[in-house]
Amino acid sequence: MTLKTPGEYLDDMRKLKINLYMFGEKIENRVDNPIIRPSLNAMAMTYRLALEPEYEDLMTVTSSLTGRRINRFTHLHQSPEDLVKKVKMQRLLGQKTGCCFQRCVGMDAFNAVFNTTFEIDQAKGTAYHQRFIKFLELVQENDLCVDGCMTDARGDRGKAPGQQDDPDMYVHIVEKREDGIVVRGCKLHQTGMINSHWILAMPNNALKEEDYDYAVCFAVPLDAEGMIYVYGRQSSDTRKLEGGDIDPGNKYFGGQEVTTIFQDVFVPWEHVFMCGETEFSGMLVERFAGYHRQSYGGCKVGVGDTLIGAAKAITDYQGVSRASHVKDKIIEMCHLNETLYACGIACSAEGARTMAGNYMINILLANICKQNVTRFPYEIARIAQDLAGGLLVTMPSSKDFENPEVGPLLKKYLAAGGDVPTEHRQRMLRFIENLTMGCAAVGYLTESMHGAGSPQAQRIMIQRGEQLEHYKELAEKLCGIQDNPDVDW
C-alpha cells in the first residue's frame, strides 16, 4: 500500500493508544472527542484529495526511492517544479479546510534531514543517511503522517542548552546503550502531533561542541514508552462541546497544537540520524526552517482565500458589496494574499539541487516569504473584521436563536438584506470570528507570526543572504566613484 484512504488513516489513529491529557484529564478516545476530531478531519483531507483524479498531479508523485506512486507529503523534492507543486498543494488544502492541516512540518523535516544526513556521512563516515532512507521508505510505503519536532521548551533563552539550570529544557541524550539511546526533554507547539503515526525530532538551534548531547535527531512512534502529550488550549475551543455547528465557526475542520514530553524514551540506533555532530545542527535547523518558511506561502494563502471569500459573502449578505470602499478593501486583501503566494512560488522556482540529490528552496526568498507572512495575514484579518461589522463579536449564541421566546425576535432583528436567511449571516460571521479571533486564528494568525521561527529569525537570515557590499559596489560604479568596466567603449 502507498496511498491510504481517510478511513484507513482514522482507523490507524483509533488503534494507536497514547498517553494524552486535556483539561487535566486523560483522554482515552481522541478520535471521537469533539475538540480533537476537527483537527483529525483536516489531516484526513490530505489523504482524501490524494485519491481524487482531479488533484492527482498535485497530491501524488512518483517516489525517488521506490519508483511507486506516493502522497506528496512523504516526497523528497526532485526539481523546482516539485517545490512549486508543493506550494500549490498547500494552497489547495488551505482552501479545502480553512485551517492548518498539519502535515507540512513532517514533509519539510524529511527533506532537511535527508540532505543534512548525507553531508554528515560525507564528512564523518557515519551511516545516518542510509538509516534515514530506510525509515522514509517505511513512511512512503505506508503513507504515514510524521510530526517534524523542533521547538524545545528552552527555559532561560539567554543561556545555551548545556548552561540551563535544568538540563531537560532542551531534548537531549541521557544515556547511550549498545542498542540505542535514551532521550529526555520537551517540545512545545507541536502541530498535529497526536494526529501523526511517528515523530521526527530535530535539534532546536545551532550548537557548540560542548552541547553535543543536544545534537540529536531521531524518530520514534507516537506510542513509544515514555511519551506524554498535553493538548493545547485555543480560543473558544469549548464551543465544540456545546452542541450545534454554528458557533464554532468552521463546521468541519480545525488545527491542533500539543506539548510533547519525552520522559526517558528509548530510541534504537536504526532510528538515530544525528548523535553529537554539533557542527551540523545549525545546517539542519536552517534547512528545515527554510523549507517550512516556503510552506507558509501556500498554506496560509489557502486559508486567506477562505477569509477573503467570507468577507465577500458577508458584504453581499449585508447589502454593502457595491460600495467602492468595500470593493477596494477586498482588492487589498487579494493583493496581500497573492503577494504571499508569489513569494512562495518564487523561492520554489529558484530552488537548487543539494549534494544529496533532493532540491532546496532559495533560502533568502523563503525567509522573505515568511517575513511577509508575519505581517500580511494580520492586515487581511483586520480588513475582514472591518467589513464584518460589530455583530462579529456581539452576536448571541446559536442556542438563543433556537429559544422559542427570543429566537424569532433574533431572527427578525438580525436578518441580513434581501432574501438571505439570518442563519447564513450567523454562520459567516462565526467563520470570520473563528479565523481572526477563535481556534483557527492560532493556525492563521499566531502561527503566521511564530511558526517556522520568530520574525527576527527571518530577519537574521535575510541579513546573511543579502549581498549589501555588492549592491554598494554597483551604486559606486554607476555614479563614478569606482571604475566601471561595463562602459569601456
In a 3-state reduction of DSSP, which class is residue 180? strand
Which one of 75, 99, 104, 116 is the catalytic residue?
A: 104
279-315: string of b/e by CB count within 10 Å (b at 16+)?
bbbebbbbbbbbbbbbbbbbbbbbbbbbbbebbbbbb
Q: Please state, in angstroms and rounded to a whole number, the distance separating the CA atoms of residues 368 and 458.
A: 7
Which one of 119, 257, 277, 286 is the catalytic residue?
A: 257
Would you call 100 a catalytic residue per the annotation? yes
Residue type present at position 276: G
In a 3-state reduction of DSSP, which class is residue 188? strand
Contact between 275 and 121 under an 8 Å Cβ cutoff? The reply is no
**How many other CB atoms are there within 10 angstroms of residue 62's CB atom?**
12
Would you call 347 a catalytic residue per the annotation? no
DSSP 178: S
Q: What is the dihedral of CA 15, 19, 24, 27, to 10 degrees?
A: 10
Look-up of cell digits 564523518? 124
Would you call 405 a catalytic residue per the annotation? no
DSSP 189: E
Q: Please state, in angstroms and rounded to a whole number, the distance separating the CA atoms of residues 294 and 370.
A: 7
Would you call 170 a catalytic residue per the annotation? no
Which one of 99, 299, 343, 347 is the catalytic residue?
A: 299
CB neighbours of 189 closer than 8 A, spacing ≥ 6? 151, 232, 257, 450
Q: Please state, in angstroms and rounded to a whole number, the distance separating the CA atoms of residues 88 and 91.
A: 5
DSSP 152: B
Q: Please state, in angstroms and rounded to a whole number, the distance separating the CA atoms of residues 16 and 197.
A: 8
Would you call 350 a catalytic residue per the annotation? no
Q: Please state, in angstroms and rounded to a whole number, the distance separating the CA atoms of residues 204 and 271.
A: 18
CB neighbours of 149 closer than 8 A, spacing ≥ 6? 109, 187, 190, 193, 199, 200, 201, 202, 260
Question: Which string of DSSP letters, residue by residue, matches 314-353?
Answer: HHHHTT-TTSHHHHHHHHHHHHHHHHHHHHHHHHHHT-EE
Would you call 343 a catalytic residue per the annotation? no
* Helical H segments across 273-323, by residue range: 281-317
Which one of 119, 277, 433, 447 is the catalytic residue?
A: 447
Question: Which string of DSSP letters, residue by residue, matches 69-127?
Answer: EEEGGGPPP-SHHHHHHHHHHHHHHHHHHSS--S-HHHHHHHHHHHHHHHHHHHHH---
Which one of 75, 292, 354, 359 is the catalytic residue?
A: 292
Which one of 116, 151, 191, 315 is the catalytic residue?
A: 191
- Candidates 38, 93, 409; CA nearest to 236 is 38
Which one of 100, 145, 149, 347 is the catalytic residue?
A: 100
The residues annotated with a catalytic role in the active site are 100, 104, 191, 257, 292, 296, 299, 447
